[in-house]
Structure 1
Amino acid sequence: MTRRPLHVELLIGIGAPLALVIALIGVIAFVSARDEINEVYDSQLITSASELWLLSQSADNKVTVTGQGLAAADRAAFDDYARWRSFRVWRDGRLALASDNAALSVPLSEGFHTVMMEGGAWRVYTRVLPEGRGVVEVREKLRARDEVVRRVLYGLLLPLFLALPVSALVIWRGSRWGLRGLEHFASDVAQRSPGDLSPVSASGLPHDLMPLADALNALLAKLNLAAKQERLFTDNAAHELRTPLAALSLQAEVIAGARTAAERKQAVDALGKGINRVSRLLDQLLTLARVRQATDQDETCDVDRVLTDVITDVASLAAGKGMTIEVEGSGAGMIKCQPVLLFLMLRNLLDNAIKYAPPDSEIRIETAPALITLIDQGPGIPPQGRADAFRPFHRLDAAKPGSGLGLAIVRTIADSLAAEVELFTPSGSIGLGVHIRLP
């Protein structure tokens, strides 16, 4: 799924909560303003009731307050007042004072009430004087209060909502300005050729994004090292293949020029050995390439079972040299790995032991939890040559056949399995010992 640009994500991530905060402020302001205005208007109703009672004291008969006889401006003010408010005053059981728009119903009980009348909801305050001396009722249409609340709310929220697009513009421009270093960094990476694995300049990159640049440069450094190793491996492989292929070509010429059946048979035997050597070399090269690509270690394998399979696989080679393979110990147990990788590692170690150990000798394998030890009776490897023994195509004795890939494969598999391989000299200073410490 295509992601939005980072500055758009920042705008949404900051702008949406900001709009929510403004809306929340609006709700709180509305509730607060409504409550405060209701308190003020209720107080005015109480005050109006007290003043109306005092005015009613001078009225001997019922007085209806109308706008008759007022000047035009005063009449307009009176009519405006009458649209929203009305009042009634009873004194000694009779109606003494009332507005011309007052209701004809009986007075309500003492206190505040909200009633529905023609034209909408009204807020009513009724005051009953002690000893039944009189009742004062003041009414006010709630719409008047709502108008005041709306005006207060508009005056408060309008600047906030006008500030919202301005804030969005500031966030947009600010994020674009703040991310300019990242855009330059991404542009530098995008313009590189596939072969350019040099570090990417992180100058101008925000401090918070420096770990990203460091991680990318660390990855490029690893890829650069891996590329160099692959080139070295390819060069060495080409060199190693050139010699046996040249030998095969020479043997083919010898067969073609053989004058007797004996010479031809001898040349064919040599050609067969050369083909076997090239086949083994290619097999080891493919194995090494496959091991370097292996990454999945989620599978569980039984080390002892894999070891048994390896011994069965090389039994005929050992028997051909009159050699025996002895296994002892408590067993290596279970580990997380690909069984085929563990098989290849142990197979290469046993192949080397069988190849270099003398005929009729013994190969001893000792097992313990997460530990395998192989000991042969061959010529061994001196301490100063053990580090180089794991390098691809390195042979301690160039006169002996081999490609120099066996221990290189072992080290590569061990690294993939997070295992440790250690060469040592067994007791008695005869042969070579190998400790394999499994994860």
Structure 2
Amino acid sequence: MTLSQRLFLRILPTIIVTIAIIGFFAYRSATREIDNIYDAQLINDANVLWSLLRRPLTTSEPRPEIRVPDLDFTMGNQLAINDEADDYADAHSYRAWRGNVLALESSNAFPSNSKQFKAGFSDVVFDGESWRVYSLTIPETDVTVEVAENIQLRETLVGNILTNLSLPLLILIPVIALITWLAIGDGLSAIRHLVLQIRSRNPEDLARIPNAALPGDLVPLVGSLNVLLLKLERSLAAERQFSDLAAHQLRTPQAGTKLLLQLLQRSDSEEERRALIADLTASNERAMHLIEQLLRLSRIGHQTIRLERITLNDLVAGELAGFGPTLSNRGFRVDLAENGQALVMTDRALLSIMIDNILDNAIKYSPDPGEIAIGITQSARGWVLSISDHGPGIAPELRAAAFQKFNRLDAADSEGAGLGLAIVADIAYRLGIEIRLETPEWGHGLRVDLEISAA
């Protein structure tokens, strides 16, 4: 079902229900107003009748009951000229009492044996029909004037009013539905144009969608799409750059391995072959390290962040344990200033990769036997993890470039892939960790500070 159909099926029932509610309140209002008007007319008729019959009703001379004949018979059916007027006349009757004696009645009045009604308004049923009766008691006399009206007259009038009101509304419903459908179609034309514009693009077209001519309601949507396109463009550019750089970096160890294999094939002595095999092993190790760093770097941007409370001291100790054999073989001494109160809120897996890369660089570039100092101190934001080594360090003017991918500050470095600190920087960006490169207190080497939010 299209959006236009959904909107139409929600708007049209609303219009129909609104018309029905309007009709209901119109019925209630018309009934109330007609009752008030017709009751006032009954009061007026009773007073007029009393004014006309004051003398005969108040004379002391006894008079027989007067029965007023129907004008239809006495005047030649003059009311038949207008059937509605005839029905109106037949719907009214009256009686006049002197004491308990009926003195005057119309031809269509209640029978003589029908008792006198109480003063004011009364609703009675006679011969299956409902009547509204107004009884006027004349003060300082024994005269009572009764005027009655058939309630069907009022109901017929209300029905005619509702019919005259409802029929045009019912006829207008298809017109309203058509206008509503056209209005919805015109209102959604901007969306259809936007969809067509997006569909017509080729997969490589990530240009911004213009929103100058769009309705105000669609501007936030187009703005969000443009932000998404911008992120997608940056992501694709980063992927292409990563692929190009990775291909370039992998080509070097692959070419070296191929050359060593060719030399091994042409080698003559056993000693030469052993040297070449050792070089092949080292070259393979460098290639494996590069591949591992590349895979790790590619996973960082897609790995879901799972925040949890972590004891920083335990996490660092666990990472150090993984480097235990290397530290022992090279005679390293590690100074870990423990702080059991350092609780941080972060992703354990990503933070472990950061610490692993920093420790790997510290061990790799420190001379044997080396020393690594690790400290955990509190800051205004949370906790600062500091890892210091005795390596060559990084000059202050080169520290910003140290976080770039495949950037090796030492051209003679044949072991590094130029990805360690780049991985650290990417993870720091995702976890909101502030990273700083400083010089240790002993004046040489490198100190890496990670400021992490407290739990």
1:322–1:117: structure 2 CA closer, same or farther, 3 Å change rule? farther
Q: Of 30, 50, 65, which aligns to 2:68?
A: 65
What letter corresponds to residue 211 of structure 1 in structure 2?
P
**Offset at 1:351?**
0.4
- For residues 245 and 86 of structure 1, the distance between their equivalents in structure 2, rounded to whole angstroms, comes to 118
Determine if the alignment matches structure 1 residue 429 to structure 2 residue 427: no
Q: Of 120, 123, 134, which aligns to 1:111?
A: 120
- For residues 418 and 252 of structure 2, the distance between their equivalents in structure 1, rounded to whole angstroms, comes to 14
Determine if the alignment matches structure 1 residue 180 to structure 2 residue 183: no
Q: Secondary structure at the match of 1:325?
A: strand
- For residues 124 and 315 of structure 2, the distance between their equivalents in structure 1, rounded to whole angstroms, comes to 91
- For residues 77 and 405 of structure 2, the distance between their equivalents in structure 1, rounded to whole angstroms, comes to 112
- For residues 298 and 107 of structure 1, the distance between their equivalents in structure 2, rounded to whole angstroms, comes to 91
Post-superposition CA distance 1:335-356 (Å, at most 9, x none): 4433111111110011001101
Residue 216 (structure 1) aligns with: 225
Q: Of 95, 100, 119, which aligns to 1:88?
A: 95
Q: Of 419, 428, 433, which aligns to 1:414?
A: 428
**Offset at 1:20?**
4.2
Q: Of 335, 341, 345, which aligns to 2:350?
A: 341
- The 5 Å alignment of 1:5-154 reads 5=3, 7-11=4-8, 15-56=12-53, 57-58=55-56, 60-67=63-70, 68-74=73-79, 80-81=87-88, 83-104=90-111, 105-131=114-140, 133-154=142-163
What letter corresponds to residue 45 of structure 2 in structure 1?
S
Q: Secondary structure at the match of 1:283?
A: helix
Deviates more, 1:314-323 or 1:61-70: 61-70
- For residues 258 and 426 of structure 1, the distance between their equivalents in structure 2, rounded to whole angstroms, comes to 48
Deviates more, 1:314-323 or 1:344-353: 314-323
What's the C-alpha RMSD, in Å, of the aligned pairs? 2.5
1:428–1:301: structure 2 CA closer, same or farther, 3 Å change rule? closer
Q: Decide whether the 8 Å contact of 1:185 with 1:202 is kept in 2.
A: no
Determine if the alignment matches structure 1 residue 199 to structure 2 residue 199: no
Q: Secondary structure at the match of 2:357?
A: helix
Determine if the alignment matches structure 1 residue 321 to structure 2 residue 334: no
Q: Decide whether the 8 Å contact of 1:182 with 1:206 is kept in 2.
A: no
- For residues 183 and 34 of structure 2, the distance between their equivalents in structure 1, rounded to whole angstroms, comes to 41
Q: Of 343, 351, 368, which aligns to 1:359?
A: 368
Residue 283 (structure 1) aligns with: 292
Identity of matched residues, %:
36
**Offset at 1:250?**
2.4
- For residues 228 and 190 of structure 1, the distance between their equivalents in structure 2, rounded to whole angstroms, comes to 22
Q: Secondary structure at the match of 1:182?
A: helix
- For residues 313 and 436 of structure 1, the distance between their equivalents in structure 2, rounded to whole angstroms, comes to 20
- For residues 447 and 140 of structure 2, the distance between their equivalents in structure 1, rounded to whole angstroms, comes to 118
Q: Decide whether the 8 Å contact of 1:294 with 1:416 is kept in 2.
A: no
**Offset at 1:230?**
0.9
Q: Of 404, 409, 413, which aligns to 1:396?
A: 409
- For residues 365 and 24 of structure 1, the distance between their equivalents in structure 2, rounded to whole angstroms, comes to 78
Q: Secondary structure at the match of 2:226?
A: helix
1:352–1:164: structure 2 CA closer, same or farther, 3 Å change rule? same
Q: Decide whether the 8 Å contact of 1:374 with 1:434 is kept in 2.
A: yes
What letter corresponds to residue 23 of structure 2 in structure 1?
G
Determine if the alignment matches structure 1 residue 370 to structure 2 residue 370: no
**Offset at 1:64?**
2.2
- For residues 338 and 83 of structure 1, the distance between their equivalents in structure 2, rounded to whole angstroms, comes to 93
- For residues 414 and 350 of structure 1, the distance between their equivalents in structure 2, rounded to whole angstroms, comes to 16
**Offset at 1:413?**
1.0
**Offset at 1:55?**
4.4
Residue 380 (structure 1) aligns with: 393
Post-superposition CA distance 1:97-122 (Å, at most 9, x none): 22233223212211112233333322
Q: Secondary structure at the match of 1:109?
A: coil
Residue 60 (structure 2) aligns with: none
1:393–1:111: structure 2 CA closer, same or farther, 3 Å change rule? same
What letter corresponds to residue 28 of structure 2 in structure 1?
V
Give the TM-score normalised by the residue count of structure 2: 0.88
**Offset at 1:8?**
4.2
Q: Of 303, 310, 315, which aligns to 1:306?
A: 315
What letter corresponds to residue 94 of structure 1 in structure 2?
V
**Offset at 1:300?**
4.0
Deviates more, 1:106-115 or 1:7-16: 7-16
**Offset at 1:66?**
2.9
**Offset at 1:40?**
0.6
Q: Decide whether the 8 Å contact of 1:87 with 1:99 is kept in 2.
A: yes
Post-superposition CA distance 1:176-225 (Å, at most 9, x none): 33433332222111122222212123342113322222221122112111
